[in-house]
């Protein structure tokens, strides 16, 4: 399953699933470098950063923001 970190609240990362449902994941289960906007891959108990998808989403957001100013 893939999720995106929406925000942090206390000891939890609030993450959005592909169907827009929000779930909480304990911060201590995340990679140490995880931050808001990062895409995570959850496989059972293992949680990994999906750097490729995170970078692709960041480029898309930057393009959309750039298009607003043109």
> How many domains are there within the chain?
1
| pLDDT one-digit tens code per residue, 3-40 | 999 999 999 999 999 999 999 999 999 999 999 999 99
Give dist(CA 43, CA 38) in Å, integer: 16
What is the three-class DSSP state of 36? Answer: coil
* pLDDT greater than 90 at residue 60: yes
Give dist(CA 5, CA 10) in Å, integer: 14
What local confidence, expressed as pLDDT, does residue 66 receive? 86
Range of the domain at 30: 2-69
- CATH number for the domain including 14? 2.40.50
């Amino acid at each position: 399953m893939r999720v995106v970190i929406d925000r942090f609240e206390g000891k939890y990362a609030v993450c959005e699933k592909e169907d827009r449902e929000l779930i909480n994941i304990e911060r201590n289960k995340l990679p140490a470098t995880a931050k808001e906007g990062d895409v995570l891959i959850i496989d059972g108990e293992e949680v990994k950063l999906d750097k490729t998808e995170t970078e692709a989403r960041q480029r898309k957001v930057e393009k959309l923001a750039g298009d607003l100013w043109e």
